[in-house]
Amino acid sequence: TRTQAYGASKAALHYFTKSLEVDLHHKGVKVQAVSPGFVETPLTDKNDFEMPMKISAEEAADAMLKGIEGNKQTVFFPRIFGFILRFMHILPTPLQKRLSLAMREKQ
């Protein structure tokens, strides 16, 4: 589905930034990643699927600036959305799958 492809591309970009962080550390380059949830934009206005915890572009900009200025390695927002996704990642794979299937059935 489109949401799976979107999620996969975000995961690939996150992995890439973590690799860059290691590769460029010796040159004094700081790499920071931004992992947003859903942000209200003209593009997301066209989506025909549920976007939980969607925030405004202004809220997203504030969260990014706060995270970057706070020297966060990764800036997650909205905070609770980022927490849920990170929590899901540490669960055993069979449990991740069951929860994901349950969420998909609710759509």
Query: Would you please indicate which residues are annotated as catalytic (active-site) residues?
Result: 6
Give the CB-side neighbour count of residue 100, counting CA atoms within 13 A: 14
Q: From residue 8, give the alpha-carbon distance in Å to each of 2, 18, 27.
A: 10, 15, 29
- Number of Cβ within 10 Å of residue 20's Cβ equals 13
Q: Are 75 and 37 in contact (CB under 8 A)?
A: no
- Number of Cβ within 10 Å of residue 33's Cβ equals 19
Q: Say how far apart CA 89 and CA 93 lie, in whole Å.
A: 8
